Amino acid sequence: MNTITAAITAVGAYVPDFVLSNKVLETMVDTNDEWITSRTGIKERRILKDTDKGTSFLAIKAAQDLIAKANIDPLEIDMVILASATPDMPVASTGVFVATQIGATNAFAYDLQAACSSFLYGMSTASAYIASGKYKKVLLIGADKMSSIVDYTDRATCIIFGDGAGAVLFEPNYEGLGLQDEYLRSDGVGRDFLKIDAGGSLNPTSYETVRDNKHSIVQDGKTVFKYAVTNMADASELILKRNNLTNTDVDWLVPHQANKRIIDATASRMELEDSKVLVNIEKYGNTTSATLPLVLYDFEHLLKKGDNIILAAFGGGFTWGSIYLKWAYDKK
């Protein structure tokens, strides 16, 4: 009997046209291009300016890009997972709306929220459904309209985040390619260090919460940075050891793009040379659930069938982990 593994067989993406550069941010808050570049590696980010469009718009565009590129019939999709920290609405699943809009009307869908680790956790979920043998096509979309929860007077957060979406298709593989191993962790100690204070069941929206600006993301950047560096590096090192991999066995590191210094620390712990570390943070900033698929999309041309890829992420909550994946195709 052949064992089923879950492989990524197609990638799609979408970012909005509007570019918010460091230079423009200099006119909005007390910051400068040199500080942002040296502290984070970010030069610009994309922003969805249309006030009548939410995260679903980005997710639909990325999914449609994948469907067109891979030439698949949306009716064949069994399941849609929308990884996102910024759903269109608090209630009424955004993933369900997206699935219907892209014509995946035979699929069931839902949202998955684990802050910046949403897509990594979603990979685990999508793979498990495929490996069960019950589902043949699972579409995983990572999409976030971070600009909808960013306070553009807070220089500690507004320089970091951007909007975007990416999508991957998981299908069964019988050659042993696809997801090989995963190490996923979480720790509620992180709740106080990266959050939106109001608008949930604990502190519902009120006149006071709006007046006091409690609906934007706030973070203790230094503390988040410390946990991110340690945990992303630990998780990546652990997954290498557990699979008897050394730095020469790894073809690519696909890290969450939150801060170039966090990426460098992870790569250094894995003893990886720079050329194996895939980075596009300078173009998009931190797009939360969209960073990993946007990296796969931007560097798809470099990935070869059989390549060993380590994906790693860290996010609010805290949530973090690492996945070992064997790439399943050469780009046509």
Binder to ligand COA among 5, 9, 22, 40 (CB under 6 A)?
40
Of residues 293, 295, 286, the one with CA closest to residue 261: 286
Asked if 35 interacts with ligand COA (CB under 6 A), we say yes
- Active-site residue identified among 22, 116, 173, 231: 116
Q: Is 286 an annotated catalytic residue?
A: yes
Nearer to ligand COA, 103 or 221 (CB): 221
Nearer to ligand COA, 74 or 190 (CB): 190
How would you classify the pairing of strands 178-186 and 319-326?
antiparallel
> CA-CA distance, 83 to 102, in Å (whole number)?
16
Binder to ligand COA among 183, 252, 314, 327 (CB under 6 A)?
314
- Residue 132 exposed, middle or buried by CB count within 10 Å (0-12, 13-18, 19+): exposed
Q: Which of residues 215-234 bind ligand COA (CB under 6 A)?
A: 219, 221-222, 224-225, 228
Number of residues that bind ligand COA (CB under 6 A): 21
Cβ-proximal residue to ligand COA, closest one: 221
Amino acid identity for residue 64 in this structure: Q
Asked if 159 interacts with ligand COA (CB under 6 A), we say yes
DSSP of 103-133, one letter per residue?
Answer: T-TT-EEEEE-BTBTHHHHHHHHHHHHHHTT
CA 69 to chain centre: 21
Contact residues: ligand COA, CB under 6 A: 31, 35, 39-40, 116, 155-156, 159, 194, 219, 221-222, 224-225, 228, 258-259, 286, 314-316
By annotation, the residues acting in catalysis are 116, 256, 286
